[in-house]
Chain A
C-alpha cells in the first residue's frame, strides 16, 4: 500500500495546543506550507489579468505613463536637471519602477488579510503566508518592468554602470521594505479597519516624499538626513546608483539611515504580526 502523500503537517509529532502558545517551529511550519504559499501566489498572478484586454501590458503601461508625466512635470515645468546630461525619462523610470513595486506590494500585502478573511476563519496555516503571497504579482510586474526599463535605456543609449552587480542586494532591500511595512499595516488593518483608509494616503504622499520624479541630491545635505528616514529613499537611490553609477551620486550617511529604518520596520512588522496573528480568526 502506497504511503499517503498528504503534506506531512505534523507527521510523527505531537501537536500541543495551549493558550498563548508561541509556535516554536514557526519557520518549519512555513516550510511545510510552502506549497500553499506558491499556490496562493500563483492564484493572484493568474487572476490579476484575467478578462482584461491588454493583459500583461498593464504592467508597463502604468510606469510608462508615469514616466511621461513626471518627465514633463519635474523635467520641463520644474526645470530639474539630470546630471551629466543623463536623459530625464530614464531617471524617472527607474524611480517609478521601484516605487511601483514597493507601493503595490505593500498595499496588496496589507489588504490581503482582510480580503482572505474566509480562509483565515476556516483553515489553519501560518498567517504570514497570505501577505507574502500577495507580493508575488507585484514582483512579476517588476520583472516585466525591468525588461521595459532596459528597452528604454537602449533607446536613450544609456550604458548601465558596473554597479549593476549590486542590483540583487538592492532588490532584496526593496522586498524587505515592502514586507516590513506590509506585515505591520496588514496586521493593524485586521484589528483597526482605520488603516485601510491610511494606506492610500501613505502611497499618495510617499510618491512625493520619495525620489521618484526627482533625484534626492536636489535636497541640501542637512535636510537629506531627515529625508532619508523614509526607507524608500535608500532603495530608490540604490537602484539609480546601480544603473547609472557615480553620475547620480551616492550618499552613504543617508543610505545608512534608510537601511536602518528598513530593518527596524521589518523587525517591528514581523514582531507585531506574530503577536496578533493568533487572534486573527477571532478578530477579523
Chain B
C-alpha cells in the first residue's frame, strides 16, 4: 500500500487571548516597549530569567492525528469553535502549528473562502485569471479552462463588466466557478458551499461530488450540513474543543456528533454553551419540554401536545424578540421550522429575564431522535443562534387519536388527514 497522502501527527495550535495575540507577542509598539522594560527590570531585580507571565491561552487544537489515503474524502465535523478551520489552515500552510508534524504528499489547494483576491474594479474576465492564479492554477491552465469556468458561472453576459457592478450572487457564482475547476491532488475546503441560491448550490454539490468520486481526489471538507457531509464524505473526523473525539466511517461520526448534545431530559441547560453565534445581547439559559398543561416531559409521544419553554436573559430590555426553532432528524434533514414572525406571533418586548414558549398541539413526528437549532433575534438582529441546542426523543404514540399507536413507514412527518368514499 502506498504511503498516505496526508499524515497528521499530534498537531496542536495554541492561541493567546486578550491583549496578547499570535505567538505570545505584544501587539502594539507601546506594549512591546513596556513589556521589554518590565521584563528587563524584573530580570535585574530577581537575577534570574523569570518565567513569562502567561496570558490566558487556549488550545484551538490539541493532539490531533489522522491519516488520509489517496482518494479518501474526509468530512470534519464539530461545533463552532471546535478547531475545524484552524486544522484546515494548518494543512494549507497559512498558519503553523504550535506542536506536532504534518506530512503532505501532493499538491494542495485550499478553498477557505470563495473569491479570495477578487478585486471590484477588475472585470469578471480579469478576476477569473487573478483568482485562478491566486488559488494555484497556472495562467495557461486558466486560459484553457476559461470557457468552462464562464459556462459554469452562468455570468458569461457580464464577463467584461467590472465585478463591482455584479450582484453578490453573480460574484459568488463566478468565484465558485473558478474554484470548482482547480485540480490539485489534495483539496481543502471550508464551509463554502453554504452560499448562493438553491439551484446553484445543487450544481456546486454535484460538481463537488464528481470531483470527489469520479476524479478520485483527496478532499478535506468542513461543513455543518450533515446531509452534504454524508453524501460527499467517506470518513468522518469529529472534533470537539480542539480534540479528536472520533474518527471512522462518516455515518458513525455523524451519529456520535448529533448524539453529543446531551442526554435527553425534560430540561436542557444552555448557560454553559459558549458556541453560540450572534451578538450575545441576549442568551437562552435553558430549554424545558412540557405538555400544554406545564407538566415536564422527558420523552414525547407522537401526537401528544408539546410546549418548549425558553428561559432567557438580556441587557437589551424592551427589544422586540423573534424566535425560531429548527428541528432536524438523525439524517440532519430539517423536519420543520417554527418562526414566531412567520406565525404572526404577538410577543411582548423582552424584560431583563423571562420565559417565552412555543406550543404544538399535536407533535407530528414519527418515533426517533431529533435535534433542534435555536435562534433569537432582537429587533431583527441575531442575538443568539445555537446549533444543536437540545434534543428530543419521540416515542411511538397515537398520532391520529384512534386508540392505537401509529406505525412509522419511514416518513419525515405525520400529516393529519381523512379518507372518504365519494
The answer to whether the Cβ of A205 comes within 8 Å of any Cβ in the partner chain is: no
From B21, B23, B100, B138, give the contact of A6 (CB < 8 A): B138
Nearest-Cβ distance from residue B249 to partner chain A, whole angstroms: 27
- For B129, the chain A residues whose CB sits under 8 A away are 39
The answer to whether the Cβ of A15 comes within 8 Å of any Cβ in the partner chain is: yes
- Which residues A28-73 have CB closer than 8 A to chain B? 35-36, 39-40, 42-43, 46-47, 50-51
Please list 22 pairs of residues, one from A and one from B, whose beta carbons are closer than 8 Å in the complex, sorted by A's number.
A5-B141, A5-B144, A6-B136, A6-B138, A7-B138, A15-B103, A36-B134, A39-B133, A39-B134, A39-B139, A40-B130, A43-B130, A47-B121, A119-B116, A120-B94, A121-B89, A123-B94, A191-B25, A192-B27, A192-B29, A281-B94, A282-B95
Nearest-Cβ distance from residue A282 to partner chain B, whole angstroms: 4
The answer to whether the Cβ of B135 comes within 8 Å of any Cβ in the partner chain is: yes
Is there contact, CB below 8 Å, between A5 and B29? no
Interface flags, A243-284, vs B, CB<8A=1, else 0:
000000000000000000000000000000000001101110
Nearest-neighbor residue (CB-CB) of A125 within chain B = B134
Residues of A in contact, count (CB < 8 Å): 45
User: CA separation between A39 and B133, bound complex, in Å?
Assistant: 7
Given A9-B107, A36-B133, A283-B25, check contact A124 B138 (CB 8 Å): no
The answer to whether the Cβ of B207 comes within 8 Å of any Cβ in the partner chain is: no
Residues of B in contact, count (CB < 8 Å): 56
User: CA separation between A125 and B116, bound complex, in Å?
Assistant: 13
The answer to whether the Cβ of B346 comes within 8 Å of any Cβ in the partner chain is: no
Chain B interface (Cβ < 8 Å from any Cβ of A): 15, 21-23, 25, 27-30, 32, 89-110, 112-113, 116-117, 119, 121-122, 126, 129-130, 133-141, 144, 162, 182-184
User: CA separation between A123 and B110, bound complex, in Å?
Assistant: 7
Stretch in contact with the other chain, from A18-26, A84-92, A152-160: A18-26
Is there contact, CB below 8 Å, between A123 and B117? yes
The answer to whether the Cβ of A8 comes within 8 Å of any Cβ in the partner chain is: yes
Given A6-B183, A17-B104, A279-B23, check contact A118 B89 (CB 8 Å): no
Is there contact, CB below 8 Å, between B21 and A5? no
- For B141, the chain A residues whose CB sits under 8 A away are 4-7
- Which residues A68-127 have CB closer than 8 A to chain B? 116, 118-125
User: CA separation between A246 and B126, bound complex, in Å?
Assistant: 48
Is there contact, CB below 8 Å, between A279 and B133? no
> Which among B105, B122, B133 has the greatest number of chain A C-beta atoms within 10 A?
B133
The answer to whether the Cβ of A222 comes within 8 Å of any Cβ in the partner chain is: no
Nearest-neighbor residue (CB-CB) of A42 within chain B = B130
Is there contact, CB below 8 Å, between A9 and B103? no
User: CA separation between A116 and B119, bound complex, in Å?
Assistant: 11
- For B108, the chain A residues whose CB sits under 8 A away are 9-10, 15
Nearest-Cβ distance from residue A20 to partner chain B, whole angstroms: 7
Is there contact, CB below 8 Å, between A16 and B103? yes
> Which among B27, B93, B99, B183 has the greatest number of chain A C-beta atoms within 10 A?
B93
From A42, A50, A119, give the contact of B117 (CB < 8 A): A119
From B98, B104, B110, give the contact of A15 (CB < 8 A): B104
- For A121, the chain B residues whose CB sits under 8 A away are 89, 94
Is there contact, CB below 8 Å, between A35 and B29? no
User: CA separation between A193 and B94, bound complex, in Å?
Assistant: 21
- For A51, the chain B residues whose CB sits under 8 A away are 121
Given A5-B140, A194-B29, check contact A17 B97 (CB 8 Å): yes
Nearest-neighbor residue (CB-CB) of B23 within chain A = A279
For the A-B complex, the count of residue pairs with Cβ-Cβ distances under 8 Å equals 147
- For A43, the chain B residues whose CB sits under 8 A away are 119, 122, 126, 130
From B28, B134, B144, B182, give the contact of A119 (CB < 8 A): B134
- For A118, the chain B residues whose CB sits under 8 A away are 113, 116-117
Q: A10-B107, A43-B130 are in contact. List 16 more A-B contacts (CB 8 A).
A: A5-B144, A6-B109, A6-B182, A6-B184, A7-B138, A17-B90, A17-B103, A116-B117, A119-B116, A123-B94, A124-B92, A125-B134, A279-B22, A279-B23, A282-B95, A283-B22
- For B126, the chain A residues whose CB sits under 8 A away are 43, 46
Given A15-B103, A17-B97, check contact A281 B89 (CB 8 Å): yes
* Leading 7 A-B pairs by shortest Cβ distance: A124-B93, A17-B102, A283-B22, A192-B29, A15-B104, A194-B29, A5-B141
User: CA separation between A8 and B91, bound complex, in Å?
Assistant: 17
Nearest-neighbor residue (CB-CB) of A278 within chain B = B96
- For B105, the chain A residues whose CB sits under 8 A away are 14-15
- For B112, the chain A residues whose CB sits under 8 A away are 122-123
Nearest-neighbor residue (CB-CB) of B182 within chain A = A6
Nearest-neighbor residue (CB-CB) of A8 within chain B = B107
- For B107, the chain A residues whose CB sits under 8 A away are 6-11
From A16, A125, A192, give the contact of B101 (CB < 8 A): A16
Nearest-Cβ distance from residue B220 to partner chain A, whole angstroms: 14
Is there contact, CB below 8 Å, between A123 and B134? yes
User: CA separation between A166 and B106, bound complex, in Å?
Assistant: 46
Nearest-Cβ distance from residue A16 to partner chain B, whole angstroms: 5
Is there contact, CB below 8 Å, between A47 and B119? yes
Is there contact, CB below 8 Å, between B101 and A17? yes
Is there contact, CB below 8 Å, between A15 and B138? no
User: CA separation between A191 and B112, bound complex, in Å?
Assistant: 23
